[in-house]
Structure 1
Amino acid sequence: MLRTARTLLSVYYAYMVEYRAELILWVLAGSLPLILMGVWMEASQGGQFGLSPVEFARYFLAVFLVRQFTIVWVVWDFERDVVEGKLSSRLLQPLDPGWHYFASHLGERFARVPFAFVLVELFFWLYPQAFWLPSVGDFLLGALATALAFVLRYVMQYTVSMLAFWIEKASAIEQIWFLIYLFFSGVVAPLEVFPPLARQIVEWTPLPYLVYFPASIFVGLPGNRLHGFLITLAWIVLFFWLNRWLWRRGLRHYSGMGA
């Protein structure tokens, strides 16, 4: 299994490195949090949002980094393979097709990191007052939360992609879901600016654990971290079970070439 994992990662990493210019564009496309940072820093001058301008700057930088490691596009790949019948060849292999998509995402992460950190260096050059280093404990917990956020985002979108067995545009559902994701995951605004009741409701959904939770750990915002990790794991298990259930039923409907 280790040899298979190493082979998949090396192949997909090499594949991603071939498109370095495209990777730069994808990194820049994920810079929305840095744009919103300027808006919230200006709006927080009066001190009515609970966070200072420097805390907003650090938070949105953490959001930018977390999103670089948690971006997922499996629904488009899986939808294409189902519609074009390419999934048939993967079904002949003694390996679940989901691991191919998962390995391509991990390979892309390694290829993306250098470009992302160049933007981080530029950020600290423009905002030296926002420079900080998280404690060792916060860094390790933040890294763990980011890894779990990526797994949760992947199983969520991979579950949506299972609908491609029944409809041709499962990606359309993901695009609608993406709008909800932007507002309630912490990308547009941290949960500190939400009304208390809305925040309590959102914290029981998987959305804030995709971005806000790991970002808040990196910048040291207060919160119940054990509760966050438990909720994240619970949603991962739930979506994984739903994914496997849809996978088994979807294969009965699959009629691609060679199936």
Structure 2
Amino acid sequence: MRSAGTAIRIARTLLSTQYAYMLEYRAEIALWALSGVLPLIMLGVWQNSGAASQAGWTPEQLRHYFVAAFLVRQFSVVWLIHVFEEDVVSGKLSPFLLQPLQPLWRYFAAHLAEQGTRIPFVALMLLGLAWINPGLLWRPSLENLVLGIAAIWGAFVLRFLLQTLSSMLCFWSERAAALDRLLVIPYLFLSGLVAPLDTFPPAIKSFALATPFPAMVDFPARLLSGLPVDLAGGFLSLLIWCLILGPLCWWGWRRGVRRYGAMGA
């Protein structure tokens, strides 16, 4: 009980500190929120094509899906590798290693704090959408809302683990962020962010479902929008990929820190 209480106090202090830090950059965070409108742009593209209707989607389902994908993207953004690379190259990671708290928890808390500061900007953007086109928004059922939020949280954790694994390359390369950008391409096209997976040819859809990317956008977006979805399969996919990436991240961290220390840090 004492260790649990200590962990709660540390988490509360860390989150409040990171939240105050993020508030100093709220103007930049507003720009980040605006940069996440790709699903809304793709909605305009798909509305003017007949591909979605050929896949059995109604215009209403298409609108709800892409607005839900917009929300999923807003609250599952991960930028760990850019900060971690700077900390490794500049030596800022060294004092973090001397503290009893695992440094990755500090970055994780910073992401959660950034999500908290993002909420008002996303709410304003949704109000703007409702004013421009009221048909874009809907009221999800309580079940879909709760499950959708849980799926978004799982998608964020999965993306964080995937980028943590990429960030471990920073111990061996000063340009690991450039290598991580290679993952952006499959993420955009296989996650359902630029096109619903139902519009893909069967072979490509099957390949996409064998990767972790659909669990990051398609699955939570379907839950939020009320579309048919394999509930158990979606959460199982999130769990399996997290269980795969978690040990790999730990292994990469142990190897990377030893190399970092051997270089005199």
Task: Name the TM-score, length of structure 1 as normaliser.
Answer: 0.96
1:24 is displaced (CA, Å) by 1.1
Tell me the amino acid that sits aligned with residue 243 of structure 1.
Answer: C
> 2: distance between equivalents of 1:102 and 1:93?
16
Tell me the amino acid that sits aligned with residue 48 of structure 1.
Answer: Q
Tell me the amino acid that sits aligned with residue 208 of structure 1.
Answer: P
Which residue does 1:151 correspond to in 2? 157
Which residue does 2:260 correspond to in 1? 254
Which residue does 1:210 correspond to in 2? 216
Matching residue within 46, 70, 77 for 2:83: 77
Identity in percent: 49
> 2: distance between equivalents of 1:6 and 1:127?
40
Unaligned runs of 5+ in 1: none
1:1-259 correspondence to structure 2 within 5 Å: 1-44=7-50, 47-255=53-261, 259=265
Tell me the amino acid that sits aligned with residue 203 of structure 2.
Answer: L
Tell me the amino acid that sits aligned with residue 63 of structure 2.
Answer: A
Residues 30-68 of structure 1 show CA distances to partners (whole Å, capped at 9, x for unaligned) of: 011111111111113883232122221111110111111
Residues 61-102 of structure 1 show CA distances to partners (whole Å, capped at 9, x for unaligned) of: 101111111000001111111111111100000011000100
> 1: distance between equivalents of 2:218 and 2:124?
23
> 1: distance between equivalents of 2:227 and 2:52?
20
> 2: distance between equivalents of 1:223 and 1:59?
12
> 1: distance between equivalents of 2:135 and 2:11?
42
Tell me the amino acid that sits aligned with residue 140 of structure 1.
Answer: V
State which drifts further: 88-97 or 249-258.
Answer: 249-258
SS at match of 1:254: helix
Task: Name the TM-score, length of structure 2 as normaliser.
Answer: 0.94
Unaligned runs of 5+ in 2: 1-6
Tell me the amino acid that sits aligned with residue 76 of structure 1.
Answer: H
Tell me the amino acid that sits aligned with residue 57 of structure 2.
Answer: L
Give aligned pairs, total: 259
Asked if the contact 2:85/2:167 (under 8 Å) is kept, the reply is yes
> 2: distance between equivalents of 1:256 and 1:71?
33
> 1: distance between equivalents of 2:261 and 2:39?
42
1:157 is displaced (CA, Å) by 0.1
Asked if the contact 1:41/1:54 (under 8 Å) is kept, the reply is no
Asked if the contact 2:151/2:220 (under 8 Å) is kept, the reply is yes
TM superposition outliers: structure 1 runs of 4+ over 3 Å: 255-258
> 2: distance between equivalents of 1:44 and 1:141?
30
Residues 145-197 of structure 1 show CA distances to partners (whole Å, capped at 9, x for unaligned) of: 00000000001001110011111111111111111111111110111111122
> 1: distance between equivalents of 2:147 and 2:105?
26
Asked if the contact 1:85/1:257 (under 8 Å) is kept, the reply is no
Asked if the contact 1:88/1:256 (under 8 Å) is kept, the reply is no
Tell me the amino acid that sits aligned with residue 237 of structure 1.
Answer: L
> 2: distance between equivalents of 1:103 and 1:131?
30
